[in-house]
Structure 1
Amino acid sequence: MGAGRATIVGKTYFGCANARNKGTCNNRLSILQADLEGRVLSGLKDHLLHPDLIAEFARSYQEEYNRLAATIGQDHAKAGRDLAQVTKQIDAIVDAISNGMLQQSMKAKLDALEAQKATLEAKLAETDSNPPVLLHPDLAVMYRSKVADLTDALNEPSTRTESGEIIRRGKEGF
């Protein structure tokens, strides 16, 4: 047996949980809570701001953006093709009716096609009205700024205690 998770071992100190609670670890060292939290924040900041990580973030974001943009483009093209086909079917029914071929089933089919046409037109209008979002050329700088803002927010005296508790809970708190 060995080292365990860090736990509160004093009013403002953290240490090994196994040493404190089970006696199965010889590590009796402790660290001030403020020092531990400062080191964690510093480590997060250093790791999150590593140039390779920023480059990977920008690459991954661009890849996902391009995938979504392609999907939207394909969906728009398909809706356009479907609209052309529905319009052609409507025209054929209208031509048949104008030539004296009126059946009760034609009315129901025409109503269904008109509803489908309206849905497709709305979908096309929606995608046309939303121009693609362009990535900011200084994405890496913005990312750096957001990480710095995160560090500042976690160090803000009014929220520091709550932020620390959320971080300490980790995944168990979600």
Structure 2
Amino acid sequence: MNARKRTTTSLPLAQGNRKKHLLSGLIRCGCCGSNYTISGKDYYRCAGQKERGTCDNRLSVRKGPLEEASLTAIQHRLLTEDHVRLFIAEYEREATRLARIDSHEADTARIRLQQLERELGNLHENLLAGIASPALRQMIDERETEKARLILRNATVDRGVASQPPLPTPFVLQAQFRARIAALRTTLEDPAVRGQAASIMSRLIESVTIYPDEPGGPAAEVAASVASLMAYALNDNAAREGGVSSSIAVVAGAGFEPAAFRL
């Protein structure tokens, strides 16, 4: 948790690097760790087995059902109420810590501004008295520059603190997230924007691991970063200009292990 203005996972619809398949690059073989790659039109297979012959996993997974199951897991299983409550508590702790830092730095800046006012008053008196040496003018310029910088910094901090809205309740956050995923699922039906949706999915999902030899039959495990899910739930048009999401992503960057759910 360092800089609040770190670039966040704002998850806009990407304009470049659009993937044709929703889970490309995200599926892993639970036997050898290799990627599952597209095989034919509608299936994924372990690249270790298919391309290199180094894995015994011959299970092919149909693309459509796996994509649908992964989306369902993200929408309803991975972002739990406990995750959201933990996130809100961490966010509030971090916001309090940063507010204390801002307050201390603002107090220090105000003291320095008072010193600069006195120094500039003395320097201007010397200037009016006819002591107009280059060194005197340089000292005035340096202090005026520092004064302007401190005033601007304090104004920026005040605006940032005043504009930081509180987080919604856990119930509202979960509802927002599920509604956004539902809207994303709708876009998958449009071939024109499916590649954009795939780009978003690659930021929400960390991995989909295929286990071919489970006792109850083949299984898949979907893992996602809670930080990314929360940033997506809170994302709005202001996020890229330093809105809630830009602060949220940093807070969630520590202490949040990826959430996983076995399909």
TM-score, L = length of structure 2: 0.52
Rounded to whole Å, the distance in 2 between the matches of 1:43 and 1:114 is 58
Name the structure, 1 or 2, with higher relative contact order (CA <8 Å, separation 6+).
Answer: 2
**Structure 2 residue identity aligned to 1:102:** I
Q: C-alpha root-mean-square deviation of aligned residues, in Å?
A: 3.3
The answer to whether the Cα contact below 8 Å between 1:90 and 1:113 also exists between their aligned partners in 2 is yes
**Is it true that 1:163 corresponds to 2:200 in the alignment?**
no
Answer 1 or 2: which has greater helix percent: 1
Report how far residue 24 of structure 1 moved. Answer: 3.8
DSSP 3-state at the match of 1:85? helix
* Structure 1 residue 95 displacement after superposition: 4.8
Change in Cα spacing, 1:168 to 1:117, as seen in structure 2 (3 Å) is closer
Q: Does structure 2 conserve the Cα–Cα contact (< 8 Å) formed by 1:58 and 1:140? A: no
In the TM superposition, what is the alpha-carbon distance from 1:5 to its structure 2 partner? 2.7
Residue 42 (structure 1) aligned to one of 72, 84, 104? 72
Matches within 5 A, 1:120-131: 120-130=150-160, 131=162
Contiguous gaps of at least 5 residues in structure 1: none
CA distance in 1, matches of 2:198, 2:145: 55
Structure 2 CA distance for aligned equivalents of residues 166 and 149 of structure 1: 11
Q: Report the residue type matching 1:134 in the other structure.
A: P
In our comparison, the structure showing a higher alpha carbon Rg is 1
Determine the structure 1 residue equivalent to 2:172: 141
Deviation of 1:66 after TM superposition, in Å, equals 2.6
Q: In the alignment, is the contact (CA less than 8 A) between 1:69 and 1:132 conserved in 2?
A: no
1:80-159 to structure 2, matched below 5 A, reads 80-95=110-125, 100=129, 102=131, 104=133, 105-130=135-160, 131-138=162-169, 141-156=172-187, 157-158=189-190, 159=193
Contact 1:18 1:24 in 2 (8 A): yes
Gaps of 5+ in 2: 1-30, 207-263
Change (3 A) 1:110 1:23: closer
- Displacement of 1:96 after TM fit? 5.2
- Looking at structure 1, the residues matched to 145 and 40 of structure 2 have their Cα atoms a distance apart, in angstroms, of 70
CA gap 1:26/1:122 in 2 versus in 1, 3 angstroms: closer
Q: Given the alignment of the two structures, is residue 21 of structure 1 paired with residue 51 of structure 2, yes or no?
A: yes
Return the match for 1:68 from 91, 98, 104.
98
- CA pair 71-106 structure 1, distance change in 2 beyond 3 A: same
Q: 1:90 to 1:168 in 2, by over 3 A?
A: closer
Query: Following superposition, which runs of at least 4 residues in structure 1 exceed 6 angstroms of deviation?
Result: 168-171
**Count of aligned pairs between the two proteins:** 169
Q: Which of the pair is proportionally richer in strand? A: 2
Decide whether aligned partners of structure 1 residues 108 and 168 sit closer, same or farther in structure 2, where only a CA change above 3 A counts: closer
Instruction: Render the CA deviation track for 1:99-132: whole Å, top value 9, x for unaligned.
Output: x583623343233323332333333344445525
Q: Distance in 2 between matches of 1:16 and 1:149?
A: 31
- TM-score normalised per structure 1: 0.73
2: CA distance, partners of 1:24 / 1:108: 72
